[in-house]
Amino acid sequence: MVSQAQQEPALPHSSSTAKRAAASLMDARPAQPLLLRAPTPSIDLPASKPDRAAAAAGKAAAASVFDLRREPKIPAPFVWPHDDARPASAAELDVPLVDVGVLRNGDRAGLRRAAAQVAAACATHGFFQVCGHGVGADLARAALDGASDFFRLPLADKQRARRVPGTVSGYTSAHADRFASKLPWKETLSFGFHDGAASPVVVDYFAGTLGQDFEAVGRVYQRYCEEMKALSLTIMELLELSLGVERGYYRDFFEDSRSIMRCNYYPPCPEPERTLGTGPHCDPTALTILLQDDVGGLEVLVDGDWRPVRPVPGAMVINIGDTFMALSNGRYKSCLHRAVVNQRQERRSLAFFLCPREDRVVRPPDSGAVGEAPRRYPDFTWADLMRFTQRHYRADTRTLDAFTRWLSHGPAQDAPVAAAAST
Ligand SMILES: O=C(O)CCC(=O)C(=O)O
């Protein structure tokens, strides 16, 4: 069978303007009402202690505002220790390509195959790719091009959306507003997404933060996030099947999810071997859907080796985050990953982080194979885990254990557990 990934054309690394792409995409869609104010995503948090300390330490860095495209050598704050930045193994990671179209087309053998692929990948490194996802190539291309167009704006324009300390939304250049060292060679734009609001939250974010000219790009990302949410619920069904969990347990849990979308832009780098585009980290969220362009740079740590994940045209990379690791009672793994940069080409990636509603209690099902095993982690809310990883702990392979200890001492103490680091 020819998969959708094989049918779909590669996403070209084009520089066509997002406005043009957005206009052609949105022509066919009915206009939606706009609210000209930036919504306050409920995932935002008040400024934390490490944030304030880091902001002070990083003041010089922030004041000089790195324009990464103009640096002839990498400035000292971008140099990473060799252990983090050590070269990858030549062997690509074997990331299964799972056709999620089988959840819609009633192909029972295909469904069993997909569930088995997911089970094998998630029990080892937690990464797989999906095709047959139904996200149009035009929409994916428009979303990637929208990122290029935003990041190519003059710094002063991008700064209109700059991240407010203590929140997850907004523009950052190398996270220099938060950290003084181990800065990532990238710029990011992040914003919250949830559906069911009176007006489209992503359109509101773009128009409210950057002005009416960005309404069309906002519509692209609104639609992209809606598709990502639908895809993440489909993947939840596949995860239920693969774990033998009762139908609907995970899907229903994420019906009212409130997610985070992050556009990553990695400029070419004069000394790529000394720095990283995204530092080693695990995602504290539930599930990540990554769309990468055709440049490549994502790497996963497996058995002590960094292994590249080659972009597959038309496919999206999925990885399990800590929150789903807890929901699966530790059966499925959240794994360390990073992004490297290169000397020749810019790279773009779009990460959609599926998060539960903040007050939902994260608890694995108490029946079936997942429920029969002793509980690995206590009940917690996403709001608590978010607070822990934002304020106290750089998410790594031990996040859930450290978080469990922190919860047992009472989160009210709020003392830093380990220095946060920039990814
Ligand atoms: O750009 C990539 O390949 C990885 C990005 C990532 O891990 C992140 O944004 O958290």
Judged against a pLDDT cut of 60, whether residue 131 lies above it is answered with yes
Hey, which residues does 305 pair with through a beta bridge? 302
Rounding to the nearest 10 degrees, give the CA dihedral for residues 227, 229, 234, 236. Answer: 160
The residue-averaged pLDDT of 61-85 equals 78
Name the range with the highest mean pLDDT among 165-174, 374-383, 387-396: 374-383
d(CA 110, CA 186): 39
pLDDT value of position 68: 80
The answer to whether 347 is a known catalytic residue is yes
Tell whether the model's pLDDT for residue 421 goes beyond 60.
no
Ligand 1 centroid vs 108 CA: distance in angstroms? 33
Can you give the pLDDT at residue 35? 22
Residues 350, 262 contacting (CB under 8 angstroms): yes
Q: Which of 347, 360, 387, 394 is catalytic?
A: 347
Condensed to tens digits (0 to 9), the pLDDT of residues 328-387 reads 999 999 999 999 999 999 999 999 999 999 999 999 999 888 999 999 999 999 999 999
pLDDT computed for residue 106 by the predictor? 84
| pLDDT tens column, 298-342 | 999 999 999 999 999 999 999 999 999 999 999 999 999 999 999
The response to whether residue 351 sits with its C-beta less than 6 Å from ligand 1 reads yes
Mutate to test the pocket of ligand 1, among 298, 318, 342, 394 (most ligand atoms within 8 A of CB): 298
Ligand 1 midpoint to CA 299 (Å): 9
* Any ligand 1 atom below 6 A from CB of 292: yes
pLDDT band at 390 (very low <50, low <70, confident <90, very high): confident
pLDDT at 133 over 50: yes
Most confident of 20-29, 92-101, 406-415: 92-101
Residue 50 has pLDDT above 80, yes or no: no
The CA-CA-CA angle for residues 7, 13, 16, to 5°, reads 105
Q: To the nearest whole percent, how much of the chain has pLDDT over 70?
A: 80
Task: Give the Å distance between the CA of 278 and the centre of ligand 1.
Answer: 6
Residue 391's pLDDT is 82
Domains in the chain, start-ordered, CATH in brackets? 49-413 (2.60.120.330)
Could you tell me the distance, in angstroms and rounded to a whole number, from the CA of residue 375 to the centre of ligand 1?
A: 30
Report the pLDDT value the prediction gives residue 411, as an integer from 0 to 100. Answer: 62
Determine the atom of ligand 1 nearest the C-alpha atom of 266: 1
pLDDT in tens, 75-126: 999 999 999 999 999 999 999 999 999 999 989 999 999 999 999 999 999 9
pLDDT at 253: 98
Whether 279 lines ligand 1, by a CB cut-off of 6 Å, is: no
pLDDT digits (tens, 9 = 90+) for 148-168: 999 999 999 999 999 988 788
Nearest atom (ligand 1) to Cα of 317: 3
User: Mean pLDDT, to the nearest integer, of 204-219?
Assistant: 96
Q: Is 297 in the pocket of ligand 1 (CB under 6 A)?
A: yes
Whether the CB of 339 sits within 6 Å of ligand 1: yes
**Span from the CA of 339 to the centroid of ligand 1 (angstroms):** 6
CB of 175 within 6 A of ligand 1: the answer is no
Q: What is the pLDDT of residue 412?
A: 57
Read off φ and ψ for residue 259, nearest 5 degrees.
-105, 175
What is the distance of C-alpha 164 from the center of its chain?
19
Q: Is the CB of 278 under 6 A from ligand 1?
A: yes
CB 358 within 8 A of CB 382: yes
Separation of CA 198 and ligand 1 centre (Å): 31
Per the CB < 8 A criterion, the answer to whether 340 and 88 are in contact is: yes
Banded model confidence at residue 51, pLDDT cuts 50, 70, 90:
very low
Report the largest interatomic distance among the alpha carbons of the chain, rounded to a whole angstrom.
59
> Ligand 1, atom 8: nearest CA belongs to which residue?
351
The finding on whether 229 has its CB within 6 A of some atom of ligand 1 is no
Residue 264 beta carbon below 6 angstroms from any ligand 1 atom: yes
Give the span between the Cα atoms of 35 and 23, in whole angstroms: 19
Mean pLDDT rounded to a whole number for the chain: 84
Atom of ligand 1 nearest to the CA of 309: 3
The CB of 262 under 6 Å from ligand 1? The reply is yes
Which candidate, 239, 23, 315, places its Cα nearest to that of 146?
23
Residue with tokens 């590249």: 308
Can you give the pTM of this predicted structure?
0.84
pLDDT mean over 188-196:
96
What is the identity of the amino acid at 258? R
- How many A from CA of 224 to the centre of ligand 1? 17
Mean pLDDT on 8-18: 35
Q: For residues 144-155, b (16+ Cβ closer than 10 Å) or e, as one string? A: bbbbbbbbeeee
In the predicted model, is pLDDT for residue 295 greater than 80? yes
Spatial separation of the C-alpha atoms in residues 87 and 224, rounded to whole Å? 33
> Which of 228, 261, 262, 264 is the pocket-test mutation for ligand 1 (most atoms within 8 Å of CB)?
264
